Structure 1
Amino acid sequence: MKKHKLYLIPTPISKRKKNLALPEHTLEITKKLNCFIVEKPQTTQSFLQWIKHPTPPYKMTMRVLNKKTPDQEIYSFLKLLEDQDVGLMSEAGAPGVADPGAKLVKLAHDNGIEVIPLVGPSSILMALMASGMNGQSFAFQGYLSLNDKKRIQELSELEQESSQKNQTQIFMETPHRNEQLFELLLNKLRPSTRLCVACNITQKDEFIQSKTVHHWKQNDKPDLQKKPCLFLIYSGS
């Protein structure tokens, strides 16, 4: 049985008329594929229309892989790769990174299917690049706990780990809770700890600033409400 390739296709983080993030090679490969496994079909269809994919939607095969997709259904996606190359897409940014698509990537490796990551934007790496923090040692923590007590404990542990390992700690929050998390960071972190806020990356109102907690407290607070944000802290030497 011939095994086809699984392409990991990054998509733009923000909606812009001009293509500022995807190289031509990524677009070329995507336009040759007619089968996609996606986090959100509506977003994918809009993206494919934006890049002027030559195949009409009714001739494409599209399957959904999100956090609610059962493992058995994900396993069934391997059958698609028996007939053709398949593209995996997240709702935004890099598939498989803070994304349920990682489960399919693991299955592909376990079944001897070639996995090919294509070049494109990753908000996590872009935030790290712009933070001025340690890019030699860093950890992405995803979302912190919703429980206030646990969240405060997690922040204390991350700050301590950053200091001990000289490591940048990266985490995120749902847009409508950004400002509450930002206030918590200012109130619970040490004044000397560096905090970077990276908001609306690649959009026209992109906001990325990095300074100590002490200096954040001396300045006007940014408007983070309902905007995708990443937070980075660093308390190393």
Structure 2
Amino acid sequence: MSSFGSTNKLYLIPTPISKQKENRVLPEHTVQLIQNLTCFVVEKAQTAQSFLQWIDHPTPLHEITFRVLNKKTPEHEVLSFIKLLENQSVGLMSEAGAPGVADPGSLLVKLAHEKGIQVVPLVGPSSILLALMASGLNGQHFTFHGYLPINESKRSKKIQELEKDSLKSGCTHIFMETPHRNKNLFDQLSGKLRPATKLCIAAGITSDSEFIETKNIKAWRSTSRPELEKKPALFLINAK
């Protein structure tokens, strides 16, 4: 017999992608569910605590349980997190956006399914889907690749592979980069891709400085480079 309470659930909590004074992205129902939880598995404790203060969580922070799950967390430690669900429901929280998507939290979700624990995804922002929605590119067939290789020659090869696949299949390929490398990635994309290939840049999504624009490479080459150095950005290409 399972030792997990039949009513205990693992809630997947989306968090704001950009910081705003007022709540623009989370439905009231989502906020209310989070306010009823007192145990969280989070990517970064400080960010999670700031988020709970932002939604006016009624429980003092020192009375809330936080466990950190990031890319450095060993698997045996993640296994111990599942025991939290024996006595209570737990919220899984990413650093920004949707947990389990481009995020190490998917391992805990996998374990919850294996233990027969109900997994409940809450409504909130996902930069990947928001960028795809706004791109005008193929939303019926797309692939998210996370980060491309850091090495310039390997990254160049990968870019050409993705373009070749998109030209053949019509797939939209989505990838991301850290803000300080956005400029280099843009330069490489505009230099390596075919003039007709479409490139969407979606940066600072949901922020006051949000920038989302789709052009073919020929048009990007004739305009000034967008200011991307300090903004989290997604890049989407489609060659069909």
Q: Normalising to structure 1: TM-score of the pair?
A: 0.98
Residue 42 of structure 1 is aligned with which of 46, 52, 71? 46
Q: Which amino acid aligns with 2:58?
A: P
In the alignment, which residue of structure 2 is the partner of 1:140?
144
Establish whether residue 173 from structure 1 lines up as the match of residue 177 from structure 2: yes
In the alignment, which residue of structure 2 is the partner of 1:121?
125
In the alignment, which residue of structure 2 is the partner of 1:228?
232
1:35-74 equivalent positions in 2, closer than 5 A = 35-74=39-78
- Residue ranges of structure 2 left out of the alignment (5+ in a row): none
Q: Distance in 2 between matches of 1:217 and 1:152?
A: 17
Q: Distance in 2 between matches of 1:211 and 1:148?
A: 24
Moved over 6 A (4+): none
Q: Which amino acid aligns with 1:48?
A: L
Q: Which amino acid aligns with 1:88?
A: L
Cα RMSD, aligned residues only = 0.6
How many residue pairs get aligned? The number is 236
The sequence identity of aligned pairs, in percent, is: 62
In the alignment, which residue of structure 1 is the partner of 2:30?
26
Residue 94 of structure 1 is aligned with which of 83, 95, 98? 98
In the alignment, which residue of structure 2 is the partner of 1:17?
21
Q: Distance in 2 between matches of 1:65 and 1:147?
A: 28
In the alignment, which residue of structure 1 is the partner of 2:206?
202
Q: Which amino acid aligns with 2:115?
A: N
Q: Distance in 1 between matches of 2:183 and 2:87?
A: 48
Residue 111 of structure 2 is aligned with which of 90, 107, 110? 107
In the alignment, which residue of structure 1 is the partner of 2:89?
85
Q: Which amino acid aligns with 2:232?
A: P
Q: Distance in 2 between matches of 1:230 and 1:52?
A: 31
Q: Distance in 1 between matches of 2:175 and 2:218?
A: 20
Cα distance, 1:165 vs. partner? 1.1
1:209-224 equivalent positions in 2, closer than 5 A = 209-224=213-228
